[in-house]
Amino acid sequence: MGLETGSIRIGVIGGGQLARMMVPPAIHLGLRISVLAETEGSSAERAADVVGDYRDPETVYAFADTVDVVTFDHEHVPQEILHELERRGVAVHPRPGALQFAQDKILMREKLGELGVPVPAWAAVSDAAELQRFITEHGGRAVVKTARGGYDGKGVRVVSDAAEVRDWFTALAEDGHGGQLLVEELVDFTRELSQLVARRPSGETRTWPVVETIQRDGVCAEVIAPAPVATPATLDEAARIGAIVAAGVEVTGVLAVEMFETRDGRVLVNELAMRPHNSGHFSIEGSVTSQFEQHLRAVADLPLGDTRMTAPAAVMVNVLGGPAEGPMPVRYAAALAAHPEAKIHSYDKQPRPGRKVGHVTVVGDDLAAVRAAAQAAAAAFD
């Protein structure tokens, strides 16, 4: 690993804002980081030593030869490539055997079932008739998801009639599940929670406080840390589930377990992400050890850091870029002048409607004041 001779070299596949935000803690820790980015001008351009396609095996193998450990900004690298990397002796974290559960929602649901973790009622359905039966049995509406490739509301539809996803059955007939879709009950939830966990290859595990995530149009809009839940039992249950999942799938690096708190007091797992996650951006300022630093420590198999909050409350608000705005710095002067306490993060991305181009975090003692400040500072970029 280079631990005995010098700096550890970490290679990140994917050049988005998650890779970008790994660079600051790598600099502070004295780790070397390089990024395999899809395009020139990507968010992690600072560290984008290599530009290339992560679906091209030779590109990935050549990149891996230059580093001590390979990790990820996204979960899209094909399993065949990941397994071949391990056959070649490359340290890959998270390992393909864990990553498959973040890549495939049907495998994930099966695994969570094995682990005894509470999930919404679900089925893998092969045709419209099976789907319609599930919808009818679960109140006339249900959530349909493609097993692969969905994120931020993509690959997810709420339907009342199987015909509404006929295109997916057709398009996915050739995939690993033979066209199967995942269908789930529409959960009557009071709020969405996220439990971040970091786990080293040795098994050392640290969890952050459970946070509340507020979605708008299927995209994370705001994160409140810690989550202002109705009862402490909910936090305990979320933390318990996070620990079971992290150990059960043997994740290495950061795992985000997204959950519903139901109206009747249960906690159900919705999604898994095996990388730093939007619900953990608050931790850059809000935790002693950020999710980005912790991910690097975990994949480099270094001891994990303290995850306590640095203040009683932290709120993160995403900046979702509209078309006419230009890059975030256009509005910087006004936003910084009005909100000296706000930490403004720009991903240096060209704006597109709904695109995550940055975020704002405020940390402090009083949740209401912190939240109002974070929302106001982010609104400067609307």
DSSP 305: P
Name 127's Cβ contacts closer than 8 Å, sequence gap at least 6. Answer: 169, 179
337 touches its own copies (CB under 8 A): yes
- The single residue among 108, 260, 346, 351 that binds its own copies, judged by CB under 8 A, is 346
- The single residue among 305, 318, 320, 321 that binds its own copies, judged by CB under 8 A, is 305
- Shortest approach of its own copies to residue 339 CB, angstroms? 9
- Closer of 39 and 310 to its own copies (Cβ): 310
CB 210 within 8 A of CB 238: yes
- The single residue among 254, 302, 315, 316 that binds its own copies, judged by CB under 8 A, is 302
> Which residue pairs from 358-361 have beta carbons closer than 8 angstroms and sit at least 24 positions apart in sequence?
358/318, 358/319, 358/321, 358/328, 359/278, 359/281, 359/316, 359/317, 359/318, 359/319, 360/316, 360/317, 360/319, 361/281, 361/282, 361/284, 361/285, 361/286, 361/314, 361/315, 361/316, 361/317
- Closer of 56 and 341 to its own copies (Cβ): 341
- Closer of 168 and 332 to its own copies (Cβ): 332
Which residues are part of a known binding site for ATP?
Answer: 105, 145, 184-187, 192, 270-271
- Shortest approach of its own copies to residue 263 CB, angstroms? 37
Token digits of residue 208:
């952050």
Question: DSSP assignment of 27-47, as one string?
Answer: HHHT-EEEEEESSTT-TTGGG
282 touches its own copies (CB under 8 A): no
326 touches its own copies (CB under 8 A): yes
Residues of this chain, 46-65, that bind its own copies according to CB under 8 A: 46-47
Q: How many residues bind its own copies (CB under 8 A)?
A: 51
- Distance, in Å, from the CA atom of 291 to the CA atom of 198, rounded to the nearest integer, reads 8
**Segment holding 179, helix H or strand E:** none
Binding mask 113-152 for its own copies (x = CB under 8 A): ----------------------------------------
- Distance, in Å, from the CA atom of 25 to the CA atom of 19, rounded to the nearest integer, reads 11
Binding site for its own copies (CB under 8 A): 2-8, 20-21, 23-25, 27-32, 46-47, 284, 288-289, 297, 302-306, 308, 310-311, 326-330, 332-333, 336-337, 340-341, 343-348, 358, 363
